[in-house]
Amino acid sequence: MPSRVRTEAMSAFIGLRPDRQLLEKGRKARGNVAATIALAREIEAEGAANLTSLRVAVLSTFTSEPLQPFMVVEGAIRGFALRLLAMPFNQLELQAFKSGSELYASRADVIVIASRLEDTAPALIDEFLTLSPQEVDQHVGAFATRIRTLVSELRAHTAAPILIWNSAQPWLLAAGLADPAVFPSQASVVERANAALAEVARGTPSVHVFDYARLVVEQGLHRLVDRRLWHRARMPFSAIGLEAIAARTATYLLALFRPACKCLVVDLDNTLWGGVLAEDGPGGIALGEDHPGSVYKAFQRYLMSLRSRGLLLAIASKNDRDEALNVLATHPDGILRPDHFVAVEIGWHDKAASLRRIANELSVSTSALAFFDDSAVEREWIRAQLPDVNVIEAPEDPLQYVPTVDDAVLCETLRLSSEDRARAEMYEAEAERRRLRGGVALEEFLKTLEIQAEVGPVDVTTLPRVAQLLARTNQFNTTTRRYSEAQISELIASGAIVLCVRARDRFGDSGLVGLVIASPDLAEAGVWHLDSLVLSCRVIGRGIESVLLRETIRCARGRGAQKLIGHFATTVKNEPASSVFSDNGFSMLTQDRSRWIFDCRTDQLPLSPHIRVIIKA
Partner 1 sequence: MNAALEQRVFEVVATVLNIPIPQLTADSGPESLAQWDSMTHLTLVLALESEFGFGFSDDEVTDMLSVGLICRIVADRASEDQRG
Determine, following the binding rule CB under 8 A, whether residue 235 of this chain makes contact with partner 1: yes
Which of residues 41, 223, 559, 612 is near partner 1 by CB under 8 A? 41
Determine, following the binding rule CB under 8 A, whether residue 561 of this chain makes contact with partner 1: no
Amino acid in position 62: F
In angstroms, the CA 561 to CA 609 distance is: 25
Determine, following the binding rule CB under 8 A, whether residue 44 of this chain makes contact with partner 1: no
Among residues 20, 395, 78, 62, the alpha carbon closest in space to that of 248 is found at 78
Which of residues 33, 537, 540, 589 is near partner 1 by CB under 8 A? 33
Determine, following the binding rule CB under 8 A, whether residue 194 of this chain makes contact with partner 1: no
List the interface residues with partner 1, window 239-298 (CB under 8 A): 239, 242
Which of residues 228, 348, 508, 592 is near partner 1 by CB under 8 A? 228
Q: Contact 129/181 with Cβ under 8 angstroms?
A: no
Beta bridge partners, 616, equal none
Binding window for partner 1 (CB under 8 A); candidates: 226-234, 252-260, 435-443, 528-536 = 226-234
The nearest distance, CB 34 to partner 1, in angstroms, is 4
Site string for partner 1, 154-173 (x = CB under 8 A): --------------------
Size of the site for partner 1 (CB under 8 A): 20
In angstroms, the CA 275 to CA 285 distance is: 5
Alpha helices in 281-375 (DSSP H): 293-308, 321-330, 351-362
Give 548-561 as a DSSP string.
HHHHHHHHHHHTT-
Binding window for partner 1 (CB under 8 A); candidates: 9-17, 209-217, 225-233, 561-569 = 225-233
The nearest distance, CB 47 to partner 1, in angstroms, is 18
> φ and ψ at 515, to 5 degrees?
-155, 160
In angstroms, the CA 241 to CA 216 distance is: 9
Determine, following the binding rule CB under 8 A, whether residue 38 of this chain makes contact with partner 1: yes
The upper half-sphere exposure of residue 528, i.e. CA atoms within 13 Å in the direction of its Cβ, equals 27
Question: Which residue's CB is nearer to partner 1, number 73 or number 466?
Answer: 73
The nearest distance, CB 234 to partner 1, in angstroms, is 10
Which of residues 32, 330, 487, 579 is near partner 1 by CB under 8 A? 32
Question: Which residue's CB is nearer to partner 1, number 67 or number 359?
Answer: 67
Question: Which residue's CB is nearer to partner 1, number 69 or number 170?
Answer: 69
Binding window for partner 1 (CB under 8 A); candidates: 37-45, 117-125, 194-202, 443-451 = 37-45
Which helix or strand (DSSP H or E) is residue 422 part of?
Answer: helix 420-437
Amino acid in position 534: V
> φ and ψ at 578, to 5 degrees?
-65, -25
Determine, following the binding rule CB under 8 A, whether residue 213 of this chain makes contact with partner 1: no
Alpha helices in 108-238 (DSSP H): 117-120, 122-126, 133-157, 186-202, 212-219, 221-224, 227-233
Determine, following the binding rule CB under 8 A, whether residue 434 of this chain makes contact with partner 1: no
Amino acid in position 521: D
Binding window for partner 1 (CB under 8 A); candidates: 26-34, 132-140, 375-383, 417-425 = 26-34
Q: How many helices (H) and strands (E) does the chain have?
A: 25, 19
Question: Which residue's CB is nearer to partner 1, number 35 or number 449?
Answer: 35
Question: Which residue's CB is nearer to partner 1, number 236 or number 334?
Answer: 236
The nearest distance, CB 33 to partner 1, in angstroms, is 4
List the interface residues with partner 1, window 50-79 (CB under 8 A): 63, 65-66
The nearest distance, CB 237 to partner 1, in angstroms, is 9
Q: Contact 175/131 with Cβ under 8 angstroms?
A: no
Specify the length of the chain in residues.
Answer: 617
Strands annotated E in 200-340: 207-210, 263-266, 312-318
Question: What does the CA dihedral 100, 105, 110, 112 come to, rounded to 10 degrees?
Answer: -60
Determine, following the binding rule CB under 8 A, whether residue 27 of this chain makes contact with partner 1: no
348 contact partners, CB below 8 Å, separation of at least 6: 318
Among residues 173, 177, 330, 357, the alpha carbon closest in space to that of 265 is found at 357
Beta bridge partners, 597, equal 565, 587
Which of residues 1, 12, 34, 441 is near partner 1 by CB under 8 A? 34
Beta bridge partners, 512, equal 502
The nearest distance, CB 543 to partner 1, in angstroms, is 57
The nearest distance, CB 30 to partner 1, in angstroms, is 10
Alpha helices in 46-185 (DSSP H): 67-77, 92-97, 102-105, 117-120, 122-126, 133-157
Question: Which residue's CB is nearer to partner 1, number 38 or number 213?
Answer: 38
The nearest distance, CB 91 to partner 1, in angstroms, is 17
Determine, following the binding rule CB under 8 A, whether residue 45 of this chain makes contact with partner 1: no
Which of residues 27, 28, 107, 232 is near partner 1 by CB under 8 A? 232
Which of residues 106, 238, 354, 532 is near partner 1 by CB under 8 A? 238
Question: Which residue's CB is nearer to partner 1, number 240 or number 414?
Answer: 240
Q: What angle do CA 438, 443, 447 make, to 5 degrees?
A: 85
Pairing state of beta strands 263-266 and 312-318?
parallel
Question: Which residue's CB is nearer to partner 1, number 235 or number 346?
Answer: 235
The nearest distance, CB 35 to partner 1, in angstroms, is 8
The nearest distance, CB 171 to partner 1, in angstroms, is 16
In angstroms, the CA 355 to CA 362 distance is: 11
Question: Which residue's CB is nearer to partner 1, number 167 or number 238?
Answer: 238
Tell me how crowded residue 231 is: count the other CB atoms within 10 A of its CB: 10
Question: Which residue's CB is nearer to partner 1, number 66 or number 566?
Answer: 66
In angstroms, the CA 559 to CA 369 distance is: 56
Question: What does the CA dihedral 111, 116, 121, 125 come to, rounded to 10 degrees?
Answer: 180
The nearest distance, CB 167 to partner 1, in angstroms, is 23
Kindly list the strands in the beta sheet with 162-165, ordered across the sheet, starting from the edge strand earlier in the chain. 80-86, 52-60, 110-114, 162-165, 207-210
Binding window for partner 1 (CB under 8 A); candidates: 131-139, 190-198, 238-246, 248-256 = 238-246
Question: Which residue's CB is nearer to partner 1, number 69 or number 274?
Answer: 69
Interface ranges with partner 1 (CB under 8 A): 31-35, 37-38, 41, 63, 65-66, 228-229, 231-233, 235, 238-239, 242
